[in-house]
Protein backbone atom coordinates (compact mmCIF):
# COMPACT_ATOMS: atom_id res chain seq x y z
CA UNK A 1 0.00 0.00 0.00
CA UNK A 2 2.89 2.32 0.74
CA UNK A 3 4.66 1.50 -2.53
CA UNK A 4 3.10 4.47 -4.26
CA UNK A 5 4.49 6.89 -1.70
CA UNK A 6 7.90 5.57 -0.65
CA UNK A 7 10.95 4.07 -2.31
CA UNK A 8 13.43 1.74 -0.70
CA UNK A 9 17.10 2.44 0.00
CA UNK A 10 16.44 6.05 0.94
CA UNK A 11 15.05 7.06 -2.49
CA UNK A 12 12.88 10.16 -2.49
CA UNK A 13 9.29 10.25 -3.62
CA UNK A 14 9.95 12.55 -6.60
CA UNK A 15 13.01 10.66 -7.76
CA UNK A 16 11.01 7.74 -9.16
CA UNK A 17 7.64 9.41 -9.61
CA UNK A 18 5.77 8.71 -12.83
CA UNK A 19 5.70 11.90 -14.96
CA UNK A 20 2.30 13.55 -15.35
CA UNK A 21 1.43 12.85 -18.99
CA UNK A 22 -2.00 14.48 -19.04
CA UNK A 23 -2.45 17.76 -20.96
CA UNK A 24 -2.23 20.96 -18.95
CA UNK A 25 -5.76 22.05 -18.04
CA UNK A 26 -7.44 25.32 -17.15
CA UNK A 27 -7.64 23.96 -13.59
CA UNK A 28 -3.83 23.73 -13.53
CA UNK A 29 -3.57 27.37 -14.57
CA UNK A 30 -6.12 28.44 -11.98
CA UNK A 31 -4.30 26.53 -9.23
CA UNK A 32 -0.97 28.11 -10.18
CA UNK A 33 -2.35 31.64 -10.15
CA UNK A 34 -4.14 30.89 -6.88
CA UNK A 35 -1.03 29.86 -4.94
CA UNK A 36 1.32 32.54 -6.30
CA UNK A 37 0.93 35.71 -4.22
CA UNK A 38 2.15 38.10 -6.91
CA UNK A 39 1.39 38.84 -10.55
CA UNK A 40 2.96 36.46 -13.07
CA UNK A 41 3.95 37.47 -16.56
CA UNK A 42 2.91 35.30 -19.46
CA UNK A 43 6.40 34.05 -20.19
CA UNK A 44 7.05 32.66 -16.72
CA UNK A 45 3.53 31.24 -16.51
CA UNK A 46 3.99 29.32 -19.75
CA UNK A 47 7.38 28.09 -18.53
CA UNK A 48 5.98 26.90 -15.20
CA UNK A 49 3.20 24.99 -16.96
CA UNK A 50 5.57 23.75 -19.68
CA UNK A 51 3.36 25.00 -22.50
CA UNK A 52 3.78 27.52 -25.31
CA UNK A 53 2.28 30.99 -25.48
CA UNK A 54 -0.53 29.97 -27.81
CA UNK A 55 -1.64 27.25 -25.37
CA UNK A 56 -1.42 29.69 -22.49
CA UNK A 57 -3.53 32.29 -24.28
CA UNK A 58 -6.19 29.66 -24.95
CA UNK A 59 -6.18 28.60 -21.29
CA UNK A 60 -6.44 32.21 -20.13
CA UNK A 61 -9.48 32.76 -22.33
CA UNK A 62 -11.09 29.59 -20.99
CA UNK A 63 -10.25 30.51 -17.40
CA UNK A 64 -11.76 33.97 -17.73
CA UNK A 65 -15.01 32.43 -18.96
CA UNK A 66 -15.07 29.76 -16.25
CA UNK A 67 -14.63 32.35 -13.49
CA UNK A 68 -17.74 34.29 -14.50
CA UNK A 69 -20.12 34.51 -11.56
CA UNK A 70 -17.75 32.80 -9.13
CA UNK A 71 -16.57 35.81 -7.13
CA UNK A 72 -13.06 35.58 -8.57
CA UNK A 73 -11.82 37.32 -11.69
CA UNK A 74 -8.74 37.14 -13.88
CA UNK A 75 -7.07 40.52 -14.19
CA UNK A 76 -4.60 41.36 -16.94
CA UNK A 77 -2.32 44.36 -17.21
CA UNK A 78 0.23 44.61 -20.00
CA UNK A 79 1.99 41.22 -19.80
CA UNK A 80 0.96 40.43 -16.20
CA UNK A 81 -1.86 38.21 -14.98
CA UNK A 82 -3.31 37.56 -11.52
CA UNK A 83 -6.43 36.29 -9.80
CA UNK A 84 -8.43 38.74 -7.68
CA UNK A 85 -11.86 39.15 -6.14
CA UNK A 86 -14.60 40.19 -8.54
CA UNK A 87 -16.06 43.71 -8.60
CA UNK A 88 -19.48 42.41 -7.52
CA UNK A 89 -17.89 41.10 -4.31
CA UNK A 90 -16.38 44.47 -3.35
CA UNK A 91 -18.79 44.96 -0.43
CA UNK A 92 -17.98 41.60 1.13
CA UNK A 93 -14.24 42.00 0.58
CA UNK A 94 -14.15 45.56 1.94
CA UNK A 95 -15.95 44.33 5.07
CA UNK A 96 -12.90 42.15 5.71
CA UNK A 97 -10.06 44.41 4.65
CA UNK A 98 -11.62 47.51 6.22
CA UNK A 99 -10.99 50.71 4.32
CA UNK A 100 -9.71 48.96 1.20
CA UNK A 101 -9.52 51.16 -1.86
CA UNK A 102 -11.50 53.95 -0.23
CA UNK A 103 -8.75 54.97 2.22
CA UNK A 104 -7.30 57.43 -0.31
CA UNK A 105 -7.91 61.07 0.47
CA UNK A 106 -9.42 63.37 -2.13
CA UNK A 107 -6.18 64.61 -3.70
CA UNK A 108 -4.63 61.18 -4.46
CA UNK A 109 -8.00 59.77 -5.52
CA UNK A 110 -8.66 62.61 -7.96
CA UNK A 111 -5.11 62.30 -9.29
CA UNK A 112 -5.56 58.55 -9.71
CA UNK A 113 -8.77 59.15 -11.65
CA UNK A 114 -7.01 61.54 -14.02
CA UNK A 115 -4.18 59.07 -14.60
CA UNK A 116 -6.56 56.15 -15.09
CA UNK A 117 -8.47 57.89 -17.87
CA UNK A 118 -5.63 59.88 -19.49
CA UNK A 119 -2.68 57.51 -19.13
CA UNK A 120 0.11 57.78 -19.81
CA UNK A 121 0.17 61.36 -18.57
CA UNK A 122 2.84 63.63 -17.11
CA UNK A 123 2.83 65.39 -13.76
CA UNK A 124 2.33 68.69 -15.59
CA UNK A 125 -0.65 67.20 -17.40
CA UNK A 126 -2.23 66.06 -14.13
CA UNK A 127 -1.66 69.49 -12.59
CA UNK A 128 -3.17 71.21 -15.62
CA UNK A 129 -6.34 69.15 -15.33
CA UNK A 130 -6.68 69.39 -11.54
CA UNK A 131 -5.36 72.92 -11.17
CA UNK A 132 -3.21 72.10 -8.13
CA UNK A 133 0.25 70.73 -7.36
CA UNK A 134 0.43 66.93 -7.76
CA UNK A 135 3.67 66.12 -5.91
CA UNK A 136 2.02 64.74 -2.77
CA UNK A 137 -0.67 62.78 -4.60
CA UNK A 138 1.80 61.19 -7.00
CA UNK A 139 4.08 60.20 -4.14
CA UNK A 140 1.21 58.51 -2.28
CA UNK A 141 0.06 56.63 -5.38
CA UNK A 142 3.60 55.49 -6.21
CA UNK A 143 4.19 54.29 -2.64
CA UNK A 144 1.00 52.24 -2.74
CA UNK A 145 1.85 50.73 -6.10
CA UNK A 146 -1.28 52.09 -7.77
CA UNK A 147 0.69 53.95 -10.45
CA UNK A 148 4.11 53.53 -12.03
CA UNK A 149 6.47 55.37 -14.33
CA UNK A 150 5.59 54.56 -17.95
CA UNK A 151 8.47 56.05 -19.88
CA UNK A 152 9.09 59.68 -20.70
CA UNK A 153 7.48 62.15 -23.05
CA UNK A 154 9.87 62.68 -25.96
CA UNK A 155 9.84 66.45 -25.69
CA UNK A 156 11.97 69.11 -24.03
CA UNK A 157 12.96 67.99 -20.55
CA UNK A 158 11.63 64.46 -21.20
CA UNK A 159 9.09 64.55 -18.33
CA UNK A 160 8.06 61.27 -16.72
CA UNK A 161 4.73 59.79 -17.80
CA UNK A 162 2.57 57.89 -15.31
CA UNK A 163 0.15 54.99 -15.77
CA UNK A 164 -1.89 52.71 -13.50
CA UNK A 165 -0.66 49.28 -12.40
CA UNK A 166 -2.06 45.80 -12.03
CA UNK A 167 -2.41 46.58 -8.30
CA UNK A 168 -4.77 49.40 -9.28
CA UNK A 169 -6.95 46.92 -11.17
CA UNK A 170 -6.84 44.43 -8.31
CA UNK A 171 -7.66 47.03 -5.65
CA UNK A 172 -10.65 48.41 -7.53
CA UNK A 173 -12.00 45.09 -8.81
CA UNK A 174 -11.32 45.65 -12.50
CA UNK A 175 -10.36 42.90 -14.95
CA UNK A 176 -8.71 45.41 -17.29
CA UNK A 177 -8.73 49.12 -18.09
CA UNK A 178 -11.62 48.43 -20.46
CA UNK A 179 -13.77 47.90 -17.34
CA UNK A 180 -13.35 51.51 -16.19
CA UNK A 181 -16.81 53.05 -15.84
CA UNK A 182 -17.70 55.54 -18.59
CA UNK A 183 -17.30 59.24 -17.84
CA UNK A 184 -20.17 61.66 -18.34
CA UNK A 185 -20.56 65.35 -19.09
CA UNK A 186 -17.56 67.56 -18.37
CA UNK A 187 -15.62 64.61 -17.02
CA UNK A 188 -15.80 62.84 -20.40
CA UNK A 189 -14.23 65.92 -22.01
CA UNK A 190 -11.10 65.30 -19.95
CA UNK A 191 -10.36 62.26 -22.09
CA UNK A 192 -9.94 64.43 -25.18
CA UNK A 193 -8.67 67.66 -23.63
CA UNK A 194 -5.55 68.93 -25.36
CA UNK A 195 -3.01 69.50 -22.61
CA UNK A 196 -1.18 72.79 -23.11
CA UNK A 197 1.64 71.64 -20.85
CA UNK A 198 2.50 68.81 -23.23
CA UNK A 199 1.82 70.79 -26.40
CA UNK A 200 4.04 73.59 -25.07
CA UNK A 201 6.90 71.15 -24.59
CA UNK A 202 6.50 69.89 -28.14
CA UNK A 203 6.30 73.42 -29.54
CA UNK A 204 9.43 74.49 -27.69
CA UNK A 205 11.36 71.54 -29.06
CA UNK A 206 10.21 71.89 -32.67
CA UNK A 207 10.72 75.66 -32.77
CA UNK A 208 14.13 75.64 -31.09
CA UNK A 209 16.12 75.69 -34.38
CA UNK A 210 14.40 78.94 -35.40
CA UNK A 211 15.50 80.82 -32.31
CA UNK A 212 18.65 80.82 -30.22
CA UNK A 213 16.63 81.69 -27.09
CA UNK A 214 14.12 79.05 -25.94
CA UNK A 215 10.65 80.30 -25.10
CA UNK A 216 9.79 80.49 -21.43
CA UNK A 217 6.36 79.50 -20.05
CA UNK A 218 5.61 83.22 -19.69
CA UNK A 219 6.51 83.80 -23.35
CA UNK A 220 4.26 80.93 -24.37
CA UNK A 221 1.38 82.36 -22.37
CA UNK A 222 1.79 85.74 -24.04
CA UNK A 223 1.80 84.22 -27.51
CA UNK A 224 -1.36 82.23 -26.84
CA UNK A 225 -3.07 85.36 -25.64
Q: Domain range spanning residue 156?
A: 104-213
Q: pTM of the entire structure?
A: 0.56
Which sign, positive or negative, has the C-alpha torsion 101, 107, 112, 113?
positive
Considering the domain architecture, whether residues 73 and 145 belong to the same structural domain is answered as no
The pLDDT, as a whole number, for residue 102 is 52
Structure confidence by residue, pLDDT tens digits, 28-56:
999 999 998 888 999 999 999 999 999 99
Q: How far is Cα 22 from Cα 188, in angstroms, rounded to an integer?
A: 50
Low-confidence stretches of the chain (pLDDT beneath 50): 1-18, 99-101, 203-225
Structure confidence by residue, pLDDT tens digits, 55-88:
999 999 999 999 888 888 898 888 899 998 777 7
Q: What is the DSSP string of 162-219?
A: EEE-HHHHHHTT-SSGGGSPPP-HHHHHHHHPPPHHHHHHHHHHHHGGG-SSPPPHHH
Residue 93 inside a domain? The answer is: no
The pLDDT, as a whole number, for residue 211 is 40
The pLDDT, as a whole number, for residue 187 is 62
Considering the domain architecture, whether residues 195 and 140 belong to the same structural domain is answered as yes
The pLDDT, as a whole number, for residue 186 is 61
Query: Residue 42 is part of a domain; what is its CATH number?
Result: 1.10.10.10
Residue 111 inside a domain? The answer is: yes
Q: How far is Cα 53 from Cα 128, in angstroms, rounded to an integer?
A: 42
Amino acid sequence: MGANHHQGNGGSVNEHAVPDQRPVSVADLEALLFVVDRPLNRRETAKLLDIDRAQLDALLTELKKSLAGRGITLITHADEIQLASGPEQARAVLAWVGTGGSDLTAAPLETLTVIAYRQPVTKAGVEEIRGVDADYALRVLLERGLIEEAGRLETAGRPIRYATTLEFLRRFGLSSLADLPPLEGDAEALRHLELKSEVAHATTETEAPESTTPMTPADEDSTTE
